């Protein structure tokens, strides 16, 4: 009976070791996902800024009146 209790203690200890290892691996995976989401968020914000700049430039082009030159006829 004593051997089986010692064996159970070892098994439980080993199981907790595996659980701890798995939790650390999950933590690393979530950390990586978080970093990637932050990177994508920064890229998204940068792209939105560029889009707004381009919209402003296009709006400026639309409001400008085209320059029309008078053509004089030669007689």
- Please report, in tens digits, the pLDDT of each residue of the chain (75 residues total): 567 989 999 999 999 999 999 999 999 999 999 999 999 999 999 999 999 999 999 988 877 666 666 667 665
Q: In the chain, which residue ranges form alpha helices assigned H by DSSP?
A: 2-63
Q: Which two tokens stand for residue 68?
A: 């029309």
Length of the chain: 75
Chain position carrying tokens 């800024």: 49
């Amino acid at each position: 009976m004593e051997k089986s209790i010692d064996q159970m203690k070892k098994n439980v200890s080993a199981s907790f070791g595996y659980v701890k290892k798995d939790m650390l691996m999950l933590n690393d995976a979530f950390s990586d996902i978080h970093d990637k989401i932050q990177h994508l968020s920064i890229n998204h914000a940068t792209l939105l800024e560029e889009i707004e700049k381009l919209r402003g430039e296009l709006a400026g082009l639309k409001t400008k009146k085209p320059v029309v030159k008078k053509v004089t006829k030669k007689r």
